[in-house]
Structure 1
Amino acid sequence: MSRVFVISDHHFGHQNIIDFESRPFATAEEMDEYMINQWNEIVEKEDKVFHLGDFSFYNKEKTKAIVQRLHGKKFLILGNHDRGRSKAWWLDAGFEEVSEYPIIYGGFYLLSHEPMYMNKHMPYVNVHGHIHGQKYEGKHYFNACVEHWDYKPVDFEAIRSSLAPNEEQQ
């Protein structure tokens, strides 16, 4: 049975992110290989992965090579660093679907690149990226940035389980 995962902010090929976020790598190439291996360790061919943006700093050829190496069917929500390229560019790079805007998943989860405003009365959870090592408090936010998950996509069932008390209050 296929599973659904989310992940954000790989920044493939971005040497400076290593210093910006204190990532434990010497080079972007070392980082890229580690992140590809971490992804493929848990994602199977038939699984679906929502990437919440800031995927790659490489040209299309190198980006496509990475996308092809990653297991699963990949869906991209454009991040701030992805927006300089068209939806067609990303589709050609190998993503199944590309969205310029947040999407609603499962009628309850708002998948976005940047955190969205969520007040305590809203019945939704915002699964997001963008803020890397930071974290918003409360059950309305779930940070899917690679820094929080050892560079592995997060199984949606784990997200659902971690938020179960919030869902039962509805």
Structure 2
Amino acid sequence: MPDVFFISDHHFGHQNIIDYESRPFTNVDEMNERMIEQWNSIVGPKDKVFHLGDFSFLNQEKTKAIISRLHGYKFLIMGNHDRGRSRSWWIEAGFHEVSEYPIIYDHFYILSHEPMYMNKYMPMVNVHGHIHGQKYEGKQYINVSVEHWDYKPVSFEQLKELVVVSEEQ
């Protein structure tokens, strides 16, 4: 059975993100190549990856070239930097599915780009990106920005373990 993964905020082609987030790369080409390697090191061709936004700053041709190199079935939940382009632009670039809005996965996980307000009594977990190297307070939030996960997608199994650990505390 294929595995499911989550990740966000690659910012492919965005030179300034290297400085903004203290990414360990000397230039954007090195960053792009390393992030593709990291993705493909754990995602298989039949796996599914939910990308929670801010995928690429490149034009459609260059974005398509990157997406075509990434393993798996790719589902984009659009982030703030993706919204200048239409759903069809992203599908033409190579994503299999695209949502402009958050979605609920497995009846328990709210997948969104930006962290969503969750009161402490809400029985769900918000899997998000947007805030890069920062952490959102509360056990109901899991930040899947690339900076937290060595630029590798996070498996659904890893996410479920994080939820069990936080419930036990």
* TM bracket (short chain): over 0.9
Q: Which residue is equivalent to 1:57? A: 57
CA distance in 1 between counterparts of 2:16 and 2:134 reads 18
Write out aligned runs for 1:154-169 (5 A). Answer: 154-165=154-165
Map 1:24-103 → 2, pairs under 5 A? 24-103=24-103
- Using the TM superposition, give the Cα deviation of residue 5 of structure 1 relative to its aligned residue in structure 2, in angstroms: 0.1
CA distance, structure 2, for counterparts of residue 167 and residue 52 of structure 1: 24
Q: Which position in structure 1 is the counterpart of 2:137?
A: 137
Q: Secondary structure at the match of 2:160?
A: helix
Residue 72 of structure 1: CA displacement?
Answer: 0.3
User: Match of 1:153, as an amino acid?
Assistant: P
User: How far has the Cα of 1:137 moved from its partner?
Assistant: 2.4
1:7 aligned partner: 7
Alpha-carbon distance in structure 2 between the residues aligned to 1:8 and 1:79: 9
Give SS of 1:37's match. helix
Match of 2:124 in 1: 124
Q: 1-side partners of 2:85 and 2:28: how far apart?
A: 21
After the TM superposition, which parts of structure 1 deviate over 4 Å for at least 4 consecutive aligned residues?
165-168
Pairwise CA distance, 1:161: 1.1
CA distance in 2, matches of 1:88, 1:120: 37
RMSD over aligned CA atoms reads: 1.3
Deviation at 1:65, TM superposition (A): 0.4
1:162 CA displacement: 1.2
Deviates more, 1:133-142 or 1:75-84: 133-142
| 1:146 CA displacement | 0.1
Partner letter of residue 147 of structure 1? E
How many residues were matched structurally?
A: 169
Q: Secondary structure at the match of 2:6?
A: strand
Structure 2, unmatched stretches of 5+, are none
Residue in 1 that maps onto 2:105: 105
Amino acid at match of 1:18: I
**How many angstroms does 1:138 deviate by?**
2.2
SS of the residue 1:163 aligns to: helix
